[in-house]
Amino acid sequence: MDWNQLKAFLKTAETGSLSAAARKLGLTQPTLSRQVAAIERSMGVTLFERVGKTMVLTPTGLDLLEHARTMGAAADALRLAATGRSEALGGVVSVSASDAVAACLLPPLVRRLREQEPGIAIEVISSNALSDLLRREADIAIRHVKPEQPDLIARLIRETTANFYASEKWVTVHGNPRTATDATDLPFVGYDRSGQFLTYLRQHGLPVSEENFSCYCDHTVAHWALVRHGMGIGAMMDEIARDTPGIVRVLEEVPPVKFPIWLVTHRELRTSRRIRVVFDTLAQGLV
């Protein structure tokens, strides 16, 4: 069986869409469609039915899916073991981080790595979702939660804090609120419209409602840009805020938000020399 065809089947089954599966695999949609058709021909079965734009597994496809997943997991384990035993310093190492960390904290560390080890290229994966290291969505991840999988190696780098900030121009107009009560009628930049951020602010002691939100954005870098342009109060990691011109800390009597920074990799990858070099350099730079 052609492994590329099997991957096409798995990704299409997981995403339910040829276009989404093609993006995941870095292929064009016609190429992926041909691979799916080829595996159906070679096996003599129909794996998918098209319902609108969605690819729905047939009963036969459902029966074969778990077998394909087992083969895929074995292939992933094989790649992990091979990568873990590679002593070459050249090559690409992928690092996953939240959009704020990827945009603000990682660039100087990537430059330092390039200067120290010019044979290593860093792929920065900016995502607020947790990359699946077991399936090689990234080699190393910077996370704010401790991983639970036993096959992952995690190092607690430090605990960091975030506080509330606003632009200098905003403070000129609204003053500098210091207490939670001061924030009652002031505008905030919201993260989501589902109410989760509002609930978090209330749990943090801020007496706010939906009427306090002047705008919303769940992308941290864009959210921070809205704060910098005077749209309201927003929360940010202190090390990022300190390096942002034109920003003032507000609500200073409100306790800071505390959260950890974890550096995570797969135990097999930890034996790869180039990944070990990147992991150790990140651990030193993020302290």
Q: Quick: pLDDT tens for 206-249.
A: 999 999 999 999 899 999 999 999 999 999 999 999 999 999 99
Q: How many CA atoms lie within 13 A of 109 on its CB side?
A: 23
Number of domains in the chain: 3
Rounded Cα distance between 96 and 128, Å, is 9
143 plus 177 within the same structural domain: no
Q: Is the confidence at residue 83, as pLDDT, over 80?
A: no
Question: CA 9 → CA 64, 99, 281, distances in Å?
Answer: 10, 31, 38
Radius of gyration, alpha carbons of the chain: 23
Give the pLDDT score at 66. 86
100 plus 74 within the same structural domain: no
171 plus 29 within the same structural domain: no
Q: Would you call 205 helix, strand, or coil by DSSP?
A: coil
Q: Quick: pLDDT tens for 121-168.
A: 999 999 877 776 766 688 999 999 888 888 888 999 999 999 999 999
Question: CA 62 → CA 4, 43, 53, 75, 245, distances in Å?
Answer: 19, 14, 19, 20, 55
Tokens of 125: 């994966």
| Residue range(s) defining the domain that contains residue 23 | 3-84
8 plus 129 within the same structural domain: no
Residue with tokens 């992308």: 219
Give the pLDDT score at 148. 83
166 plus 140 within the same structural domain: no
Among 84, 112, 136, where does a domain finish? 84
Q: What is the CATH classification number for the domain harbouring 181?
A: 3.40.190.10
125 plus 237 within the same structural domain: no
Among 33, 59, 84, where does a domain finish? 84
Among 58, 84, 110, where does a domain finish? 84
135 plus 187 within the same structural domain: no
What percent of the chain shows pLDDT beyond 70? 94
Give the pLDDT score at 266. 86
Q: Quick: pLDDT tens for 184-195.
A: 999 999 999 999
63 plus 177 within the same structural domain: no
Q: Would you call 202 helix, strand, or coil by DSSP?
A: helix
180 plus 255 within the same structural domain: yes
118 plus 171 within the same structural domain: no
169 plus 246 within the same structural domain: yes
Rounded Cα distance between 16 and 65, Å, is 13
| Beta pairing partners, 49 | 56
Contact 104, 238 (CB under 8 A): no
Nearest of 124, 130, 129, 128 to residue 148 by alpha carbon: 130
The pTM score is: 0.68
Q: Is the confidence at residue 1, as pLDDT, over 80?
A: no
Rounded Cα distance between 39 and 5, Å, is 6
100 plus 242 within the same structural domain: no
